[in-house]
Amino acid sequence: MINIIIMKLLTISKWEFRKTQLNFSLRTRLLSVIILILIGAASFFVSQSGLHINDNIYRVIVTDPALLPILNTDDKFDVYVAKESDARYMFNQGNFDVLIIGTKIIHSDSQKSISALDALDKAIKKYDEARLLSYNDLNDTFPVWLNVKNIAREQAFQPVSIQKLPEFEKAREDTANAPTPAIENAVSENTQLPSIKEFTDIKTSSPLQEQTLATPSHFNPPIPFKSVVLSFIFIFPIYFIAQFFSSSIMEERVKRKGELLLVSPLSSSQIVLGKLLPYLLITLVTVAGMTFKLGGSPWIILILLPVSLMFLSTAFFGAIIARSFKELSFVLIFLSVFLSGYIFFPAMFANIHAISIISPITLVVKMLENEPVSISEYLFSTAPFYLVSTLVFMFGIFIYREEDLFTQKSIRGKLMDSLREFIARVPAPLFFLSIALLPLAFSIQLMLIVLMFNVPLRIGILVFIILAALIEEVVKSVGIYTVFSKKTAKVTTASALKSGILSGAGFFVGEKVLLLVVVASIAGSVFGSVMGIGLLVFPLLLHISSTTAASLSMRYLGTKNYLASLVLASVIHASYNLYLVRGVVFD
């Protein structure tokens, strides 16, 4: 029996593969190879000659012609030479940012002029260094060298300058008491000797190399180039393949070719899985190829598997809900931007802050640096991806049927259809719907945390608390809304109470289970505490009461006023959380 299903599944995969392949004629392949070569050449030139984006942005006027060749070493400057009186006149006309009379710099108070001063400083430093280098006498030109040794030690997990919460002090002490690794092993013995070559190496070193030897002026904190570059290298092909997947699904919808498959004895989940398989395989092969090229461990493929699933699932869902090609394009761009942000931002803090393991790319960075990645880290960063992509596939498969695929239903209508299907198919639907949507809420909240790190802390926490409450209340009440908005069901106070309790309790149970597995490592931060770690009874009561409030308000105000019900529930929810972290926000 299972064999037959697998056979059928593979047949669909084969069709799908052949269909996509047919699109690529010999000429198309040739053309893409040519464009790829051109892209390679362009990126080579960019890496050689640098970005020319700020060329001639600053206008400088000098009286000493000797300064001209010095300033011309930096493309940012547009330099003019004039006599002092003319130069002063021209500068006063306001068309220049900096005036240099002899060796004296005159500037204005404008932002541009002040930036120009900074750029001037950097340019001269660079010019001097180049000249010093030509003496070929390191001891007299670059006399000071730093040998930087990075040592791993236990770090207290805590965002910059956040005050500690008294209630959670204990949990953190536990982590601080954990045994620390022996330093001797961690220090890499680096007895590199500086030479001219070393110096040129610093300047031209690729972002993928860690800097251990530097002169003071080249001594800089780790800049997250590596994660940025890696995110692009890995995410781009995944994104491309996901685009093919969605195009193929959409094409079937538009040309109504999918109808034949729907009447076949195969279930919609089998059809979707069959279609997914070739794209997933191609993605994994591509990822494996790149991993091999970068010399990484094969485990990297396992880290990127959930990322690929995530892109493919959203591409699939986008292709199901969109009404036209245009809509599909924008839904997909929107989802990809959101996803890339989620993957990209935390990864920038790789080597800076432990929050970065939210993003699987951080784990890839670690693996490429031959650092160990623990199973709990893997779970922490990939669980949201596995859960959300499964959920997205599930909801997509629910509406993989005639009436949703081949009609012009609105996106909202299709989303409601998926929810309705879920409610119809699952026992105790409201309870489990809260649980099922939880990873989605969790992912959005984690994304919010990352964004909030960039605004002033107090405001960040405040905004986060309110938005987090809103997201959770949407997740808990959307099922109730779906049930109540269906005219056939009779809504009573009792059923409203029951729905609120079920939904709230479901969310609570899901949250606690999920937190046990994945959030343990950010328990110390204030953001973690808002996400629900703490006493158990109060959160349960909170989730139930806020959702019941929403449910009752829908009962009396009707589902048309869903927004009002949501606001009510969110206010209750947010005020509880604000009370919890009052020590941080108000004092």
Partner 1 sequence: MTNTLVIAKKEMNSLLKERTLILAIIVQLLIASFSSLLVIGLASFFDPSALSNYDEKVANVGIIGDGELRNFIEKSQVNVYYYQDLASALSDFDNNKIDGVVVIPREDASGTELIRIDIYLPKSDIRGTFVTLQLKKPLEDYENYVRDIRSKRIGFEPVRLYVDSVPKKTSTYFEFIYGILIPLLVFTPVFISGGLIIDMFTEEFERKTMELLLVSPASFSEIVNGKMLTAVLIVPMQAFLWLLLVSFNGVAVDNIAIILLLASIIAVIVVVLGAIIAVKYKKRLISQYLYSLILILMFLAGYLFADSPFNLVTRLSAGALGTEALASFAAYAAFSIPLYVYLRRVKIT
* Interaction residues for partner 1, span 50-109 (CB under 8 A): 51-59, 70, 75, 78, 100, 103-107, 109
Q: Pick the binder of partner 1 from 120, 305, 441, 475 (CB under 8 A).
A: 120
Which range touches partner 1 (CB under 8 A), out of 144-152, 268-276, 524-532, 579-587? 144-152
Compose the 297-326 pattern: x for residues touching partner 1 by CB under 8 A, - for all others.
Answer: --------------------------xxxx
Is 155 near partner 1 (CB under 8 A)? Answer: yes
Rounded to whole angstroms, how far apart are CA atoms 142 and 145?
8
| C-alpha of 15 from chain center | 34
148 part of the interface to partner 1, by CB under 8 A? yes
CB of 323 to partner 1, least distance (A): 7
Helix, strand or coil, per DSSP, at residue 325: helix
Residue 12 Cβ vs partner 1, minimum distance, rounded to whole Å? 18
Q: Could you report how far apart the first and last alpha carbons of the chain are, in Å?
A: 66
Tokens encoding 576: 């509880």
Helical H runs in 193-298?
Answer: 196-204, 225-255, 258-262, 268-294
Residues 420-459, one symbol each (x = binds partner 1 by CB under 8 A, - = not), give -------------------------------x-xx--x--
3-class DSSP assignment, residue 79: strand
15 is an interface residue for partner 1 by CB under 8 A: no
Part of the chain binding partner 1 (CB under 8 A), chosen from 200-208, 331-339, 434-442, 503-511: 331-339
- In sign, the C-alpha dihedral spanning 366, 368, 372, 377 is positive
Burial state string for 520-542 with b = 16 or more CB within 10 A and e = fewer than 16: bbbbbbbbbbbbbbbeeeebbeb
Tell me how many residues contact partner 1 (CB under 8 A).
Answer: 124
Q: Given the rule CB under 8 A, which of 200-208, 332-340, 422-430, 559-567 is the region that contacts partner 1? A: 332-340
With CB under 8 A as the contact rule, the residue among 7, 65, 140, 424 that binds partner 1 is: 140
* CB nearer to partner 1: pick between 283 and 547: 283
Query: Measured between alpha carbons, how far is 169 from 193 in angstroms, rounded to an integer?
Result: 45
Question: What is residue 224's DSSP assignment?
Answer: T
Task: State the Cα–Cα distance between residues 344 and 360, nearest whole angstrom.
Answer: 9
CA neighbours within 13 Å on the CB side: how many for 472?
34
The dihedral formed by the CA atoms of 264, 266, 267 and 269, expressed in degrees to the nearest 10: -120
Q: Is 575 in the site for partner 1 (CB under 8 A)?
A: no
| Residue 312 · residue 283 · CB < 8 Å | yes
- How many CA atoms lie less than 13 Å away from 76 in the CB half-sphere? 19
Output 249 or 440, the one with its CB closest to partner 1: 249
CB of 52 to partner 1, least distance (A): 5
Contacts to partner 1 from residues 454-483, by CB under 8 A = 454, 457
Are the beta carbons of 405 and 258 closer than 8 angstroms? yes
Classify strands 98-101 and 58-62 as parallel, antiparallel or unpaired: parallel
Cα separation of 171 and 186, whole Å? 26
User: Please, which residue, 11 or 155, has the CB nearer to partner 1?
Assistant: 155
Q: Is 407 in the site for partner 1 (CB under 8 A)?
A: no
Question: What DSSP designation does 266 have?
Answer: S
Site for partner 1 in 209-238 (CB under 8 A): 215-217, 219-224
Contact region with partner 1 (CB under 8 A), list: 6-14, 135-143, 167-175, 577-585: 135-143
Cβ 466 to partner 1 shortest distance, Å: 18
In the region spanning residues 249 to 288, those forming contacts with partner 1, defined by CB under 8 A, are 250-251, 254-255
Closer CB to partner 1, 100 or 273, in the complex = 100
Residue with tokens 């992509």: 389
130 near partner 1, rule: CB under 8 A: no
Q: Taking the complex as a whole, how short is the minimal distance between the CB of residue 163 and partner 1, in angstroms?
A: 9
Residues 32-51 that bind partner 1 (CB under 8 A): 32, 35-36, 38-39, 42-43, 45-46, 49, 51
CB of 7 or CB of 22, closer to partner 1: 22
Helix (H) or strand (E) holding 98: strand 98-101
According to the binding rule CB under 8 A, does residue 30 interact with partner 1? no
Q: Which is nearer to partner 1, 75 or 167 (CB)?
A: 75
